[in-house]
Amino acid sequence: MYTTEYWDAAAVFLSHNDAVLATLIERHRGERLSGSGDAFRTLVNAIVGQQISVTVASAIWSRLVARFPRIDPETLASADPQNLRLCGLSARKVEYISGLATDFLRDDYSPDSFDRLDDDAVRQRLCALRGIGPWTAEMFLIFHLHRPDVLPLGDIGLHRSAQRLYGWPADEAPSDTKKRLAELGEAWRPWRTVAVWYLWRDLDAEPVVY
């Protein structure tokens, strides 16, 4: 469950079912999804990236890692909020990260603790934590649990990439783009994670990792 052993089969399936993806898969041959390998780090990184551009998020994350080389619950639970703010985090995100660190010290969020949970149950468990919404839970499903069929309809980067690659209007309402993505994603099942990753990959100079 926690590997991308399905990747090659998914790439073949998607290439046969979507001409745009066939081009992307050939362009980025040999590349595939990877994550940090750490549940807490994945969620903190996703919180940093909430509602801001990839470029800005990357800069804040770099400052956070430089100031706190150990991104773990013990370190961030005891961190001075002002030191977190100096990394470029908003006051609200500092609250979220500090609270998340405390939650991780109290409960088990190892991959084994999610073994018997389907994707919706994982979302429900994570969204019960302060600062974790559907998008952040989906980043966890994709980058940490490597679930194969996740479609983050609210992801702005995914919207931008799909609009460019499929010729959709760049100025249309987000709700319309979500509807288009949901419909298109039906042809990608059961490998929507893989399709999404290739759309992300073509948008950024380096692969996105959480």
Does 2 map to a domain?
no
Q: Is the pTM of this model over 0.75?
A: yes
Separation of alpha carbons 105 and 114, rounded Å: 17
Residue 157 DSSP code: H
Does 208 map to a domain?
no
Model pLDDT, residue 204 = 81
Shared domain check, 135 and 53 = yes
* % of residues, the chain, pLDDT over 90: 85
pLDDT one-digit tens code per residue, 117-166 = 999 999 999 999 999 999 999 999 999 999 999 999 999 999 999 999 99
CA 42-44-46 angle, to 5 degrees, is: 70
Pair 136, 126: CB distance under 8 Å = yes
Shared domain check, 138 and 63 = yes
Does 15 map to a domain?
yes
Shared domain check, 160 and 79 = no
